[in-house]
Amino acid sequence: MKRNGDYVKFQSMYFIFISGLGFFFPYFNVYLEQYLGFSGREMGLVISISLMTSVAVSPIWGALSDQTKQYKLMLKVLLLMYALAAWLLFQMNHLFWVILFTTVMEAVGIGMAPMLDVLAVDYCERTGKDFGKLRIAASIGWVLGSYLAGFFMTTLLFDIGIAMFGPLIGLMTLAFMIAIFIPDLADKEVDQEENLRHASEKAPIKLLFQNKAFVFLMVFNFLTLSLIDSSVAFAGNHLVSTLGAAPAVIGWMNAISVLPEVVFFLFATKLMLKMGFKKFYLLAVMTLLIRFAVYAMTESVFLFLLVGATGPLIMAAAVIGNFLYIKKHVQSQLTGTAFMINAAILTLGRAVFSLIFGVIYDWFGSFMLFKFSMVFFVMALLILLPTRHFDVFHQTSKQMVDFPEA
């Protein structure tokens, strides 16, 4: 009974945590452009500087968490710091201060999701639960948060800042309270002794970047997931400023692209292993190309929203596939650092592409953002085709598929 109770705690944690982010991130660029009056280049500057700083901080969170194993404590501290930084950002309207407090938020935020994921993956491994099914709560939370923010702005006529920051701060505080009760890592004193011995032999980051399978995944994520995050950040501007849609449509965009995950994640792990990881990733990238081709050509808001329903394929690869891949290819004592570096690479990509996208948005318009992205998706497809890094899953697919029901 307690195991099921802990499972519900993790579901609640993901739901509340991601709901808060859903209220905020889909609308942040629109807030910068329409509420604070920033240009595309200024928006790119805000995002890129804050993300670059968080990349530098990320390895520190990873090393600290791996050495101390205090993932739960660090998660609670980061949640409170994030809520405080969000409140301070809400008070600012000058470019310098907006950059400063957005940077603090990103530097703190880059550590939160990996900390929670490590705790959740550890719990699922110990209890035989399916991590993919657990993450469904996050998908529902993102949809609800992004939809309600648009509803507050359009129907209840809330100020965009209040509709974004109020729920974000409140939900992060609530997430902190829930984090007090989620299970910590299993007691692994012997393993920690062994881990410290290995860690002293060679720097963990150096070990990871000597791991060709890990480096391959980082390059793939840089070419795909970073670009998706960067382009979706400008998708709100594209819908509202270019296509003339109401802000509430941003909520519908997130609902249509994320709600299918709720169903898909129920069987995504089994499908991935039955189909083969490589074939699944190839299919995900090909659907990305089709989706962004439509984004780049259509002036129809309806078609733009509809094609977003293909999103669960790449999200399953990003959430479930990447975590299983890292757990398979990376030594157990380096798991936390690996997750942090993965987050750092994604953030570095977002920083680079956000800066570029800001210039493209000002000079060439929002349609060019999606055309630009397609070039990198083709590159991802080309490095994916010859790789054999996914072959390791063929030997153990049966063991990994047989998860008990949650």
We report the CATH number of the domain holding residue 321 as 1.20.1250.20
* Number of structural domains found in the chain: 1
Tell me how far apart the alpha carbons of residues 263 and 108 are, in angstroms, rounded to a whole number.
31
Three-state DSSP class for residue 373: helix
Tell me, what amino acid is at 372? F
Answer yes or no: are the C-beta atoms of 337 and 205 closer than 8 Å.
yes
Answer yes or no: are the C-beta atoms of 149 and 23 closer than 8 Å.
yes
User: 203 lies in a domain?
Assistant: no
3-state secondary structure 123-182: HHHHHCCCHHHHCHHHHHHHHHHHHHHHHHHHCCCCCHHHHHHHHHHHHHHHHHHHHCCC
User: 258 lies in a domain?
Assistant: yes
User: 200 lies in a domain?
Assistant: no
Domain housing 53: 2-182+211-401
Tell me how far apart the alpha carbons of residues 159 and 376 are, in angstroms, rounded to a whole number.
37
Which residue did the predictor score with more confidence, 158 or 21? 21
How many Å separate Cα 57 from the centre of its chain?
Answer: 17
Tell me, what amino acid is at 271? L
User: 307 lies in a domain?
Assistant: yes
Query: Quick check: 200 pLDDT over 50?
Result: no
User: 201 lies in a domain?
Assistant: no
Where do the H-state alpha helices sit in 241-321? 248-275, 277-297, 301-307, 311-316
- Name the residue among 251, 180, 260, 187 with its Cα closest to residue 13: 180
Name which of 16-20, 201-205, 384-388 the model is least confident about: 201-205
User: 366 lies in a domain?
Assistant: yes
Residue 62: what pLDDT?
A: 72
- Name the residue among 14, 395, 398, 305 with its Cα closest to residue 175: 14
Give the tens place of pLDDT for each residue, 258-298. Answer: 778 777 877 877 888 788 888 888 888 999 999 999 999 99
User: 193 lies in a domain?
Assistant: no
Give 5's pLDDT tier (boundaries 50, 70, 90): confident
User: 188 lies in a domain?
Assistant: no
